[in-house]
A and B are shown apart, each in its own frame.
Chain A
Amino acid sequence: MGTRRLALAGAALAAVLLAACSQGSATNPDAGAGGTGAGGSVTLKFQSLQDQPAAVEAVKGIVDSWNSAHPETKVELIQAGWDGIYDKLVTQFNGNAAPDIIHYEAASIVPFARDGYLADLTSKVPAELKSDISDGIWKSVTVDNKVIAMPTELQTYVVFANKKLLEASGATVPTGDSMTLEQFRALAKATTKDGKFGLAWGLKSPTATFMSLALTSGGTFFSGTGKEAKINVGAGELAVPKLVKDMAYTDKSIDPVSLTQSGSQALASFYAGKAAMTVQGSFQAANIKKDAPAGLDWVELPPLSGSQGTAQAANPQTLSVNADSPNADKAAEFVAYFANAENMAKLNQADALIPASKKAQDLILSSTGGKDGWDMTMKSAQGLTGAPFLAVDAYTQWKDTIATPSFQKYLANQIDDAGLTQALTEGFTQVNR
């Protein structure tokens, strides 16, 4: 087995693989934004993150129809994954290799806009679309009075209920346009019996949920933007965490295990009939429809409302245009086309998400007849509004290193209201230096 033979085999293998390697990489010599090809035709690179097969198809359909109508401006679809996309975008922007059109979500794309990487779309949004999307949603994608992204798909937090368990407890299934936090608490208490819990709430990563639902009680957490942002934790901010704690420790109506689980894990208890209700992202309606046991009769309840109504934080998925793109205007045109009502209805229905524009929402309502929770989901969408945390520079760090651990300690009953308030505010002062 001489070393020489081994070395020879190694060298031969390397040669073959190198050949394969350079062949594979020859297809795409240029990283980054597309350019201008022969005859003045333009290629736009569109990095899309769709993960549901139906949504991938929907985006492909939109791109294909654009390409056949605009032979001079070809859009090249690049499919990337959600996981790790932030890291990828950071390097793409800093290496000057970002695509022309960028799919992401408001909370995560805003920092790139603040750093100057995104083109101003304010004047590129068609007037009709501008008025068809609520000011609250526009607020979530506006940085320094510039629209930096097109809102495309949204979600809300909603309550799903097991109809049989609700009726067996003697409670009536709520209807109407909203359900107050008190009604919700009473309902959970009433359905907690026979070893079953009223509610399974996956709060392993509680911050996003609490930040969003705090708006129902006027809790905004922050005022100001960028580095100048100030934190304020008061009654409105604490309303929902307090509600959860009271339900878990006073009423014992929340399955305590679910508080340390993800939303999908909490769904398992709901499927198994061990919890009468569960709070989930609205998109889970599609998964419940697909995965729930055949006998489970489920219903989506009216949106939760606190002292300030059914407001929730809008954190839409977005399309943005790279400020360094040589064809930024063309890219903005495509973004506007992408966001038209027909396209948005098609895409959001495939993804079980909520389109930003009223017209697209109506299209979905009429094509689904409001079934499978769509009617309640659309009602909850009316409360969507921009939340101040989107514009806070240190938000992500505060969320990961301060807020999430503090909320977890609070939910585990290790700190009280005062302790939570102190941890959240002092922690923010330290990270926002």
Chain B
Amino acid sequence: MNRTSPPVKALQYLALAAYILFLGFPLLWLVSASIKSSQELAALDMSLLPKQFHWDNYAVALQKQGLTRSAVNSLVVSLLSMVFVVLLSMPAAYALARFKGRLRAVGVGWILVSQVFPVILIIIPLFIILRDVRLVDTLLGLVLVYTTFTMPFALWMLQGFVAAIPTDLEEAAAIDGASRFQTLRRIVFPLLMPGIVATAMFAFVAAWNEFFFALVLIQSPENYTLPVALKMFVGGEGKVALGPLAAGAVLATIPSLVVFSILQRRLTGGLLAGSVKG
């Protein structure tokens, strides 16, 4: 788009910079807190740059038993949930968007209700079901729960993306004699790629950041996920080991940023452009 004039361009960069400042500042502040001594963190007039770099927080955070272990647990659980959510919801979302009728009514109704009904009211029945199939205190149980509870969102979003794809393409393929499955695989899924990536990112984050299910369902420290392990820096009576917590949190952002940077490369379209021309 070479039509954009230089002043407009400058404004765009300015707006982008403002966004990044707003979205990024808390992380900057977190990094700054992670290299301050507890004395400096307790003082008034906080500055972004510490008076003295205090790397001990990282040592303390890493020594805290199980932080690395819980990071590995979180990564395993999040990636698995992501894969499950995407694989299960792609076909179902297609069905939801393309087939009208009772299925769609039930599906949409359930999606809404399951998202609105307070988790607090279903946690005990859910716990008992999981206990009966011996999945309490297992990472697999957590994966299944995350998959189930992220799916309404994934279905809802993906059906929106499917709806945005013109049906003409599928019809053309059907006329050419392609089966429904072939149409899905060759035409719909490639076009859906940006939507799938967005959904995958969400499924990953939802599992990576989730605290309540992990807190309640996981019993043994060796199965703790990262949010549960990080929360242990927050003690009773509002006692927070702020420095080590910040250091642990900074370390915890790294894996998710890596996953994001891998996934967001695929967040590019341009595929549709080619196929419409034909």
Contacts and interface: CB of A to CB of B under 8 A. Distances in A.
Do A and B belong to a common assembly?
yes
Interface residues of A, number: 57
Interface string B11-39: 00000000000000000000000000011
Interface string B199-217: 0000000000001100110
A21 B225 CA distance: 12
B110 interface: no
Of B131, B232, B233, most A-chain CB atoms within 10 Å: B232
B124 interface: yes
A283 B143 contact: no
Interface string A1-19: 0011001001101100110
A317 B221 CA distance: 22
Contact of A271 (B44, B185, B190, B211): B44
Nearest to A104: B236
Given A24-B76, A283-B237, A95 B124 contact: yes
Given A49-B236, A291-B38, A83 B87 contact: no
Contacts of B211: 84
A54 B273 CA distance: 63
A24 to B, nearest CB: 5
Given A84-B231, A268-B44, A105 B220 contact: no
Nearest to A352: B239
Interface residues of B, number: 54
Contacts of A105: 236
Interface in B122-157: 123-124, 127-128, 131, 134, 136-141, 143
B219 A271 contact: no
Nearest to B190: A3
Contacts of A24: 73, 76, 139, 222-223
Contacts of B215: 84, 87-88
Contact of A18 (B44, B80, B137): B80
Contacts of B220: 27-28, 78
Interface string B66-92: 000000010011011001101100000
A135 interface: no
Contact of B83 (A14, A20, A87, A262): A14
A65 to B, nearest CB: 20
A82 B235 contact: yes
A81 B38 contact: no
B42 interface: yes
A139 B278 CA distance: 83
A283 B237 CA distance: 9
Interface in A256-288: 262-264, 267-269, 271-272, 274, 281, 283, 287
A79 B222 contact: no
A51 B139 contact: no
Interface in B35-69: 38-39, 41-45, 65
Contacts of A29: 134
Contact of B216 (A3, A18, A83, A88): A88
Nearest to A273: B44
Contacts of A7: 87
B231 A267 contact: no
A293 interface: yes
A105 B134 CA distance: 30
Contacts of A155: 237
Given A25-B138, A28-B220, A271 B42 contact: yes
Contacts of B177: none
A430 interface: no
Contacts of B235: 51-52, 81-82
A91 B127 contact: yes
Contacts of A250: none
A13 B138 contact: no
A281 B236 CA distance: 12
B267 interface: no
A287 B234 CA distance: 15
Contacts of A31: 131, 136-137, 219
Nearest to A19: B76
B189 interface: yes
B79 A13 contact: yes
Of A4, A51, A92, most B-chain CB atoms within 10 Å: A51
Given A14-B83, A21-B140, A264-B238, A28 B228 contact: no
Interface string A69-108: 0000000001111111001101110111100000001000
B222 A28 contact: yes
Contacts of B124: 90-91, 94-95
Given A3-B185, A155-B237, A22 B140 contact: yes
A51 B237 CA distance: 11
A433 interface: no
B140 A267 contact: no
Contacts of B137: 25, 28, 31
Contact of A268 (B43, B77, B234, B239): B43
B236 A87 contact: no
A24 B237 CA distance: 33
A287 B241 CA distance: 11
A258 to B, nearest CB: 11
A291 B42 contact: yes
Given A291-B39, A293-B39, A18 B140 contact: yes
Interface in A385-419: none
A263 B138 CA distance: 38
Nearest to B137: A31
B234 A21 contact: no
B44 A274 contact: yes
Contacts of B39: 290-293
Of A18, A25, A269, A271, most B-chain CB atoms within 10 Å: A25
Nearest to A18: B80
For the complex of A and B, the 5 pairs showing the least CB-CB separation, nearest first, are: A51-B235, A25-B138, A81-B232, A95-B127, A291-B42
Given A79-B221, A269-B44, 17 more contacts: A3-B189, A4-B185, A10-B83, A14-B83, A17-B80, A21-B76, A22-B138, A24-B73, A24-B222, A25-B138, A28-B223, A51-B235, A52-B235, A80-B221, A92-B219, A105-B236, A271-B44
10 contacts: A3-B189, A14-B80, A17-B83, A21-B140, A22-B140, A24-B139, A28-B222, A29-B134, A51-B233, A105-B236
